[in-house]
Amino acid sequence: MEMSTGYMEGSILDRVADATRLVNAGKAVFERDGVVFHSLDYSYPLLACLLHAAAGNNGELDVVDFGGALGSTYRQCRPFFAGLEQVRWRVIEQPNFVDLGRREFETAELTFYSHASQLPVAASSRRVLLLSSVLQYIENPLEMLRELTQLSWSHVIIDRTPVSDHPMHRLCVQEVPPNIYKASYPCWILAKDRLLGALSEGWTPMCEFPCHDGQWETDDGLEFEFRGFLFLPKSQHS
């Protein structure tokens, strides 16, 4: 869209990297979208979904965080994983994020990949697919969702995703507040029924939950809300 600056600007990676360095240095509690926070702010529904997955896998948690930046969700959730037997958090991101992530932030638990095909194949059916604040920024979100969910997962978690009751998706321009950084992105507000329908063949919705991002309205009056969803394979419920 001509009105937007897009996602590939180097300033976005620089902003996220600087914020992540502050978190790693103990100068901030966590970061989200390049913004640092100095007080705790947990998404308990997301944590419940992740711990549910670990409970079903003998206390081991293996997450594939699609569009997970430099591991912001991992760092925010990590204190709640202290009692688990093992944690593996694998971020799939754009190559520039992957290169920087591997250079500065990769650990035994947190690793970075540029494509799902690069993931280790062992025990893939025990992995969790996390899509947090990402589907709305993909050109063909439901096509990508269907492609990803053809792979083997124990759980699929969709988090921080704007949905509406309108029967069609709406493409908008999201303006970042100038006090954060100057940017604008094409952004989908997804039709909730169509989103759920994209997973109806192979997945059972276990729960739906609100997100901190809350309720909003577009300039032309479309009401929407950021929601999260947990899906389990239908094969587990047949």
Output the DSSP codes for 152-170. --SEEEEEEEEEESSSS-E
Domain segments of the chain as ranges: 40-236
Quick one: how far is CA 69 from the chain centroid? 9
Segments of the chain assigned E as strands: 30-32, 35-37, 60-66, 86-92, 110-113, 128-132, 155-164, 170-175, 184-191, 203-217, 223-233
Q: Is the pLDDT of residue 218 over 50?
A: yes
Decide: 66 and 148 in contact? Cβ < 8 Å: yes
Closest CA to 154 of 39, 33, 235: 235
Question: pLDDT for 84-143, tens place per residue?
Answer: 999 999 999 999 999 999 999 999 999 999 999 999 876 667 899 999 999 999 999 999
When pLDDT is cut at 50, 70 and 90, the band that residue 175 belongs to is: confident
Transcribe 190-204 into DSSP letters.
EEHHHHHHHTTTTEE
Tokens representing residue 133 in the block: 């604040």
Q: Is the pLDDT of residue 1 over 50?
A: no
CA dist 48 and 132 (Å) reads: 15
State the residue for tokens 């507000």: 189
Decide: 65 and 39 in contact? Cβ < 8 Å: no
Percentage of the chain lying above the pLDDT 90 cut: 78
Tokens representing residue 21 in the block: 């360095």
What is the average pLDDT value for the chain, to the nearest integer?
A: 91
**Long-range Cβ pairs for the range 21-24 (8 Å, 24+):** 21/104, 23/75, 24/105
User: Is this structure's pTM higher than 0.85?
Assistant: yes
Return the top range by mean pLDDT from 120-129, 171-180, 181-190, 197-206: 197-206
Closest CA to 161 of 234, 237, 230, 112: 230
CA dist 66 and 137 (Å) reads: 12
Q: Is the pLDDT of residue 150 over 50?
A: yes
Please give the CATH architecture assigned to the domain spanning 40-236: 3-Layer(aba) Sandwich (3.40)
